[in-house]
Structure 1
Amino acid sequence: MESTQVLLRPLISEKSTGLKELGNQVAFFVHSAANKIDVQRAVENVFNVKVTAVNIVNYRPRTRKKFGRVVGKISGYKKAYVSLAAGEKIDFFEGV
């Protein structure tokens, strides 16, 4: 799998920005077939940084219910929390 196929998009949320500031970690939505090694290689190739650790969280698909009735489906996804080496940094909003 190529580096551009592994990383789908960065995860921008309150939790991920807090992890970025305090723990030097960055979160990404990744391809469902990607593993830790694929994610590490993709981040190192795309952003030219040194990765120390990768943690992956897999969310299963769920049904959306309203008043006890099934009204839709929430698709499953996979997230990766990437720990960067000391002094390394990834800026998503550099010029803003």
Structure 2
Amino acid sequence: MDGIKYAVVTDKSLRLVFKNQYTFNVESGSTRTEIKSWVELLFGVKVIAMNSHRLPGKRTGKRRRMGHTMHYRRMIITLQPGYSIPSLRNLLF
């Protein structure tokens, strides 16, 4: 279950928690079905929808040694009504 890196805590992700949607950064190589099964297994919930987008890496370095960080993928996961992830709710509020 190395595909899920961590939960995202931003203003938008906090608003989405009230709509029963949770935001995670995941490995860019993992598939939607893998992530859905990991979330259902790890938290014991039912997933009904998943949205994802790829965020670009940031530029790093100075002068001649320019580089960039790796890009990553962010998933917004919608749970069935009646399900929630209480450990994340307690952390966020």
So what's the TM-score if we normalise by structure 1?
0.78
Is the counterpart of residue 79 in structure 1 residue 74 in structure 2? yes
Structure 1 counterpart of 2:85, which letter? I
Give ranges in structure 2 of 5+ residues lacking alignment: none
Match of 1:34 in 2: 30
Of 48, 55, 58, the residue aligned with 1:59 is 55
Structure 1 counterpart of 2:77, which letter? V
In 1, the alpha carbon distance for the partners of 2:51 and 2:82 equals 20
Deviation of 1:63 after TM superposition, in Å, equals 2.5
In 1, the alpha carbon distance for the partners of 2:73 and 2:13 equals 15
Compute the RMSD of aligned alpha carbons.
Answer: 2.5
In 2, the alpha carbon distance for the partners of 1:82 and 1:26 equals 5
- Count of aligned pairs between the two proteins: 90
Is the counterpart of residue 47 in structure 1 residue 24 in structure 2? no
Deviation of 1:18 after TM superposition, in Å, equals 0.2
Percent of counterpart pairs with the same letter? 24
Deviation of 1:76 after TM superposition, in Å, equals 1.2
So what's the TM-score if we normalise by structure 2?
0.80
Give ranges in structure 1 of 5+ residues lacking alignment: none
Structure 1 counterpart of 2:80, which letter? A
